[in-house]
C-alpha cells in the first residue's frame, strides 16, 4: 500500500500542501486535476526526485520519504516518453532493467513490440514510443508505476487502446498504479478509484467512479469534471446500436461493449428544441429547465429529463428559444455522441 500523509512540497515559488491519500496494493488509482495543481510534482516526490518539506510517504508500511529514487524502485513514466535517440529500442528498454528484472522477450511480447527492438526512437510512431517507454518501466519489476499524463499527446482511439492495455498488464503483473490526468473520460475508464486534486487546496478526496457520480464528496467535483453529463447504468443489445438504461433514463448509443458502465455526454453535443423535431439524431427526450447559468457568450442550462442533463448553448440561442426556469424543452443528441466506459473489468 502507498500512503501519503500530510505532505507539503515546495519547489521555487510553487507550493502544494494538504496531500493525504492511500492506494491499495494492486489498485489502479487516478488523480484528476487541472494543469498547474501540482500533480506532476506529487508524482516526482513519491518517486524521490524531490523531498517534501513536511509529511511522510509510506510504501508497504515502510517510511520512504527521504530515500533516494534508486532505493525505492518505483517507475515513473512521463508524457514525453524520455527515450534516448542514440539508443535503439532494445537498448532503451534494457537501460531500465535491474539484475532480477523481467525477461526482455516476456515484456516485449506482452506489449507487442518485439519486432521493434532494432529500431531507433526517431522512426517510431507515438503509440510505439509509448509502448517502449512502458516496457522500460515495467521490466524493472517495480511494484509501483507512476504515470504522468501518459496519453496526452495521443489521438483518442489510441489513447483508449493503450489505456486498456496498461490496465490489463497492471492486473496481470499485480502492479500498483498511480496515474495523473486532467482528462475525465480517461480517469473514469481506467480508475478503480479517483482522487481529486485542486490548486491551493491539495487533495479534495477519493472514491470509486460510482461514488463520485452518486455521492460526490465536494461541491467542486462537477466543476472539475468539466460540467460533463456522466451517468451510471447498463448497456443492452447485441447490435452496434445499443440502449443505455439507468434507473431514471434510457437512450441509444453506438458501442461494441455491453453490460454495466458509465456514459459521458459533452454538454455541447446536446441540442435544445421547443418541439420534438424530426431529425437523424437517435435521442429526443422531453425535459424541463431547472437552472440557468449565464457565462457571457454562452449559457449552461440544466434540464431535468429523468436524469439531470447539462447543456451549453449560445446566449443568442437561449434568447431565441425563450429559455427560462420551468420551461418545457426537448433534448436532442446523436447516438455517436454518447461515450461508454465499461465497468465489468474492474
Express each pLDDT in 38-62 by its tens digit: 999 999 999 999 999 999 999 999 9
> Across the chain, where does the E strand assignment appear?
2-11, 14-23, 28-32, 54-59, 62-63, 75-77, 144-148, 176-181, 193-198, 202-207, 229-236, 241-245, 250-254, 259-265, 271-273, 283-295, 298-305, 307-314, 328-333, 338-342
**How many angstroms separate the CA atoms of 129 and 153, rounded?**
11
Q: Where are the domains of the chain?
A: 2-223, 231-342
Q: Flag whether pLDDT at 19 surpasses 90.
A: yes
Domains 2-223 and 231-342 share a fold: no
Q: Flag whether pLDDT at 345 surpasses 60.
A: no
Per-residue pLDDT, 314: 94
The dihedrals phi and psi of 10, each to the nearest 5 degrees, come to -135, 125
Per-residue pLDDT, 152: 81
Q: Flag whether pLDDT at 223 surpasses 80.
A: no
**How many angstroms separate the CA atoms of 172 and 186, rounded?**
20
Q: Which 3 state secondary structure label does DSSP give 189? A: helix
Q: Does domain 231-342 have CATH number 2.40.50.100?
A: yes
pLDDT band at 200 (very low <50, low <70, confident <90, very high): confident
Per-residue pLDDT, 250: 96
**Taking CA 199 as the corner, what is the angle to CA 47 and CA 23, rounded to the nearest 5 degrees?**
40
Per-residue pLDDT, 120: 97
Per-residue pLDDT, 346: 52
Specify whether the CB–CB gap between 56 and 7 falls below 8 A.
Answer: yes
Q: Tens digits of per-residue pLDDT, 277-309?
A: 888 899 999 999 999 999 888 999 999 999 999
Return mean pLDDT, the chain: 90
Q: Which 3 state secondary structure label does DSSP give 340? A: strand
DSSP 88: -
Maximum mean pLDDT: which of 42-46, 90-94, 196-200, 293-297: 42-46
Task: Provide the angle, in degrees to the nearest 10, between the axes of the packed helices 126-138 and 156-173.
Answer: 20
pLDDT band at 138 (very low <50, low <70, confident <90, very high): confident
Question: Nearest Cα to 178, choosing from 18, 19, 46, 53?
Answer: 46
Specify whether the CB–CB gap between 139 and 102 falls below 8 A.
Answer: yes
User: How far lies 167's CA from each of 22, 131, 148, 225, 243, in Å?
Assistant: 19, 13, 15, 22, 26
Question: Nearest Cα to 148, choosing from 245, 47, 244?
Answer: 47
Q: Flag whether pLDDT at 245 surpasses 80.
A: yes
**How many angstroms separate the CA atoms of 119 and 121, rounded?**
7
Of the listed ranges 19-28, 75-84, 86-95, the one predicted with least confidence = 75-84
- Average pLDDT on 317-332 reads 94
Which residues is 206 bridged to in the sheet?
Answer: 195
**CATH code of domain 2-223:** 3.40.50.300
DSSP 335: G
Per-residue pLDDT, 344: 54
125: left (phi over 0), alpha (psi -120 to 50) or beta: beta
Amino acid at each position: 500500500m502507498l500512503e501519503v500523509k500530510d505532505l507539503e512540497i515546495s519547489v521555487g515559488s510553487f507550493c502544494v500542501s494538504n496531500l493525504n491519500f492511500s492506494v491499495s496494493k494492486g489498485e489502479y488509482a487516478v488523480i484528476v486535476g487541472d494543469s498547474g495543481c501540482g500533480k506532476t510534482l506529487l508524482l516526482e516526490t513519491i518517486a524521490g526526485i524531490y523531498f517534501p518539506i513536511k509529511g511522510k510517504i509510506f510504501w508497504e508500511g515502510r517510511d520512504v520519504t527521504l530515500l533516494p529514487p534508486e532505493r525505492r524502485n518505483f517507475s515513473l513514466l512521463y508524457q514525453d516518453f524520455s527515450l534516448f535517440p542514440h539508443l535503439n529500442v532494445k537498448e532503451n528498454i534494457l537501460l531500465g532493467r535491474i539484475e532480477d528484472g523481467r525477461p526482455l522477450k516476456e515484456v516485449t511480447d506482452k506489449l507487442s513490440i518485439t519486432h521493434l527492438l532494432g529500431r531507433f526512437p526517431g522512426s517510431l510512431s507515438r503509440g510505439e514510443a509509448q509502448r517502449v517507454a512502458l516496457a522500460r518501466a515495467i521490466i524493472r519489476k517495480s511494484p509501483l508505476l507512476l504515470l504522468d499524463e501518459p496519453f496526452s499527446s495521443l489521438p483518442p482511439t489510441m489513447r483508449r487502446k493503450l489505456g486498456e492495455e496498461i490496465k490489463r498488464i497492471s492486473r496481470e503483473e499485480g502492479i500498483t498504479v498511480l496515474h495523473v490526468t486532467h482528462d475525465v473520460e480517461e480517469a473514469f475508464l481506467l480508475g478503480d478509484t479517483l482522487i481529486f486534486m485542486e490548486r491551493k487546496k491539495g487533495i479534495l478526496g477519493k472514491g470509486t467512479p460510482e461514488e463520485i457520480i452518486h455521492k460526490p464528496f465536494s461541491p467542486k467535483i462537477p466543476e472539475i469534471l468539466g460540467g460533463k453529463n456522466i451517468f451510471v447504468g447498463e448497456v443492452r443489445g447485441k447490435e452496434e446500436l445499443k440502449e443505455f438504461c439507468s434507473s431514471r433514463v434510457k437512450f441509444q448509443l453506438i458501442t461494441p461493449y455491453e453490460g454495466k458502465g458509465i456514459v459521458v455526454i459533452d454538454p455541447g453535443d446536446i441540442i435544445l428544441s421547443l418541439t420534438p423535431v424530426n431529425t437523424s439524431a437517435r435521442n429526443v427526450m422531453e425535459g424541463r429547465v431547472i437552472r440557468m447559468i449565464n457565462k457571457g457568450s454562452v449559457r449552461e442550462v440544466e434540464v431535468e429529463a429523468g436524469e439531470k442533463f447539462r447543456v451549453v448553448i449560445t446566449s443568442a440561442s437561449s434568447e431565441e428559444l425563450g429559455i427560462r426556469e420551468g420551461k418545457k424543452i426537448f433534448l436532442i443528441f446523436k447516438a455517436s455522441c454518447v461515450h461508454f466506459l465499461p465497468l465489468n473489468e474492474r
